[in-house]
Structure 1
Amino acid sequence: MKTFKSLTTRIKSPTPPFFKKIRKIGILLGAIGTALLSAPISLPAAITTAAGYLVTAGLVATAVSSTAVEKEEVTEPQGDNLQ
């Protein structure tokens, strides 16, 4: 359960400017891929395949950039330290 709490905390934390740009690019790639896949006309197989890859790449870029956070201060763990 700690992992879930950590993930939600990361997503709610402020995103660095570089990753905001990556997120916007990911959303754009996903939108282009979705538009190609949902076109009312029949497209060649190569374009349909490329559109699927665009959607996947956009989804991954958006998800990864959403979990990026500013560098936090590292705190020393409490208790026994093995050195």
Structure 2
Amino acid sequence: METYRASDAKREFGELLLKSQSGPVSVTRNGKPVAVVLSETEYQSLKLNALRAALTEGEQSGFEQGLSADGVKAIARQRLQK
């Protein structure tokens, strides 16, 4: 992963955005990591994977409690909206 110092990221923001399209870019301040910039596509993929994992876990848990798949999904949607 490429790393930018915060001052460089500010000065070269356009370049940082371009580089984030091909992979995450770390931003540091005083030598410590403070942020990661990633493309919208990568961000949406991470969100989708997290949602899938939560649904799978919820379905397994919900079935143990006697909930239907639709009931589990409704609960997951409510939690995502919060």
TM-score range normalised by the length of the shorter chain = 0.3 to 0.5
The TM-score, its normalising length taken from structure 2, stands at 0.35
Higher strand proportion, which one?
Answer: 2
Higher relative contact order (CA 8 A, sep 6+): 1
TM-score normalised per structure 1: 0.34
